[in-house]
Structure 1
């Protein structure tokens, strides 16, 4: 169910592709320690620039072959020791969106190259139906016409929607009909394979690598679909996608607990029975980022209160209420971005504190390199859905930090 799940196949060194004219990705000087800044903080502009340098290095080490390869999601720590060379599609999409958000010439070149590989993977997929897979092998693709190998063959709804959002961001930033056409194919796949009127109308989890379709519905996935379909309607002018977005938004309304106030996780396999455990962070922050609905804005306060976590001198939020013993830095960036968008009394200060935590983590968290940001404040953070997160440098977390630092909302095309 989680888009964060570590691929079962841990692949050895593979090959991937070229982005002409980019930096070599050679190691630079170490980043500053938070202690070196004197006031316990790290310069905001420098920290943001270093985050993009980290993304550049991951992208560029997968360049230089016949096609731009995909950047590995995790570096260092537990994940490095277990030889992970997996590129999660969600992380690739976030990296593309982060590049579009800053939007300089080199950023857009890298974003376009990654988006081109995603389009090629969609076009070359064995199913031939417009889907994308959950993860792929990272690294350079040296064979002419070659593509990154599939690592995890499931096609979950959230990954389809995030890939579609990434393609729309590139389309908006750089133009090009192939990106819009690819986004439309992904949207059609979601509609054809996951739309369900059973129980609470909405969108189901997608297709596993094998076996029958997933019949549970995730609040997180429906947020992704609501935003993707709404943006597709805005760009393409097709009212049908706005109507379908409203179905996903209706699912969010049904999973809203006004007494919380918070969003429940989703439904069971019957598509109707509400799943109340664990309660994750991302629906609380993503819902506001995606919809801007004031009536649901209290979910941010619920997350700050119920998912607060402290560990190793860092403070932020955790993945879910199943384990608040460690800080989930990606979710902490979600919250900073959402608070900045909400803009209520004290929200700016709260967001600044969360961003200061992320800058400190960039400098001093376990396995920090001064550039990227690790997934968790220490190893062993349980998500509550069977996964575990580690203090390994993570492209997805770093991209979210970049977006929050810029005040950008990945669910929108104009912010």
Structure 2
């Protein structure tokens, strides 16, 4: 399960095994400290005192059911068709509960993921950006509608009036595992936004907020509507008030849990998001305060750089010491997309080689059908060392070390295309083709709001169950976030550098 992204440090688990049959990875990976999970923006941000492992198990429910194109006109037509089907999935995921009102967000995963009608804030920010890549009136209307829904959530929180957004919301009715019905759509009967309390998705992460702010700022540019800029400024202000720190490593902290307790960690990925958000706010408002905040976030990110092996560490647990493992993929790719610096672009090569995976049916615990294979990258260095003999979490399957994380594979493809170095386009082309094959063949028969999806529409989050190393997993369920990132990569749209 997931909501968004963001890595930091956290308690280590003892069930990680550094087995001799793990893939061969060098360039600094083998020198890292013992791998263990860490809190993530994708980890639940519920009330203090609830353990992440217990919440992850509860959220999982019962047992989880789980050829390259050329540059010819046929290949281009195939890619256009794949993009059209991806847009069709995003539309279906947004329209799963139309009988509960026009004001709505997009369900993040298909029903089979057992997260019911959960709509993660991060996924909906991505959906806004992806709808805009269509360059159609329908895509524009959907993006604006989702932007207005985020503003509604910001202005109608059941507890706070400070500009925050929660980790996730409910967008349709369901009966929870304990038998208690959740009857409302996105807007509750009392007019408040329907926060995802059942799973503990009640906290607020800086990274989620940053992505929502990026989406709103993009809408402000595309529409000229002041309300979207005002919402993005409120987000930036909330982050400054609740995330700013003067600790030695600086930057911005993780956010707050559901009890509004500030979390002590700082994430490289979150601060990368802020480089993008604060930069956009500086340009749109003309206020120099945002340039200073952008510089503060960027300085933190640059302190996470490992110059010898050429990758970025995950962040810090205490603001003093760098957390050196696990090393996630998106701190390598998003940094390039946001920083636009050749000095750090070697992080893409690290991700492309050290996190590379090839999933096929003969891999241990693979769920890929016979005769199919998918290339890409996995979530983190810990994913390559996952214990294949134990479930990822209670009620979940055992991991495939070679499971492809398609969202991250799309990050990498887009970043390679942005860098445009020798061989980058060819590698990106293969990665995008792999994602398009996955959309074609994986996740069949899945639904949103019990409604059948368009055929071959929507990218699954992973080719097979994979352990992120951060306390949660990814599975072959069609996913708004993965589908949106595919569209950004396919259309060469960099959301982190306006």
Q: TM-score, normalization: structure 2?
A: 0.74
User: Counterpart of 1:85?
Assistant: 117
2:233 to 167, 184, 204: 184
Q: Which residue of 2 aligns with 1:335?
A: 412
Match of 1:377 in 2: 463
Match among 426, 430, 433 for residue 353 of structure 1:
430
Give the superposed CA RMSD.
2.4
Query: Shift of residue 148 of structure 1?
Result: 4.0
Alignment pair present for 1:74 and 2:160: no
Cα distance in structure 1, aligned partners of 2:294 and 2:152: 26
Structure 1 alignment gaps of length 5 or more:
13-33
Aligned pair in 2 of structure 1 residues 89, 211: CA closer, same or farther (>3 Å)? closer
Gap change, CA 1:341 and 1:360, over 3 Å in 2: same
Alignment of 1:199 with 2:231, yes or no, is no
The yes-or-no answer on 1:136 pairing with 2:194 is no
1:5 deviates by 3.2
Cα deviation for residue 410 of structure 1 reads 1.1
Structure 2: which 5+ residue stretches go unaligned?
Answer: 1-38, 46-54, 62-68, 173-184, 361-372, 385-400, 446-454
Which stretch of the first structure deviates more once superposed, 185-194 or 83-92?
A: 83-92
**Counterparts of 2:187 and 2:494, CA distance in 1:** 35
CA deviation string 1:188-238 (max 9, x = no partner): 000011111112010000001126311111000000111100011011111
Structure with the greater alpha carbon radius of gyration? 2
Query: 1:230-379 alignment to 2 at 5 Å?
Result: 230-268=279-317, 270-312=318-360, 313-324=373-384, 325=401, 326-367=403-444, 369-379=455-465
TM superposition shift of 1:291: 1.4
My pick for the range that moved more, 104-113 or 65-74, is 65-74
Q: Is the 8 A contact 1:11 1:86 kept in 2?
A: no
For residue 145 of structure 1, report the CA deviation from its aligned partner. 7.2
1:83 is displaced (CA, Å) by 5.0
> Counterparts of 1:295 and 1:284 in 2: how far apart (Å)?
13
Distance in 2 between residues matched to 1:278 and 1:319, nearest whole Å: 10
Check conservation: 2:444, 2:456, Cα contact below 8 A. Answer: no
Equivalents in 1 of 2:273, 2:319: separation in Å? 18
Q: Please say if residues 169 and 186 of structure 2, whose CA atoms lie closer than 8 Å, have aligned partners that are also in contact.
A: no
Give the match's secondary structure for 1:323. Answer: helix
Does the 8 Å CA contact 2:186/2:194 hold for their aligned counterparts? no
C-alpha contact 2:156 2:193 (8 A) present in aligned 1:
no
For these two proteins, the number of residue pairs brought into alignment is 385
The question of whether the paired residues in 2 share the 8 Å contact of 1:153 and 1:208 is answered with: yes
What SS does structure 2 have at the residue aligned with 1:271?
Answer: coil
Structure 2 distance, partners of 1:44, 1:169, is 25
**In structure 2, do the counterparts of structure 1 residues 62 and 291 end up closer, same or farther at CA, with 3 Å as the change threshold?**
farther
1:116 aligns with 2:148: yes
Give the structure with the higher percent helix.
Answer: 1
TM-score (norm: length of structure 1)? 0.88
- Of the structure 1 ranges 208-217 and 220-229, higher mean CA displacement relative to structure 2 is found in 208-217
Displacement of 1:367 after TM fit?
3.8
- How many Å separate the matches in 2 of 1:330 and 1:11? 20
Work out the CA distance in 2 between the residues paired with 1:408 and 1:64.
33
SS state of the match for residue 357, structure 2? strand
Judge conservation of contact 2:188–2:194 (CA < 8 Å) in 1: no
Check the 8 A contact 1:76/1:367 in 2, yes or no: no
Taking the aligned partners of 2:76 and 2:438, their CA distance within structure 1 comes to: 10
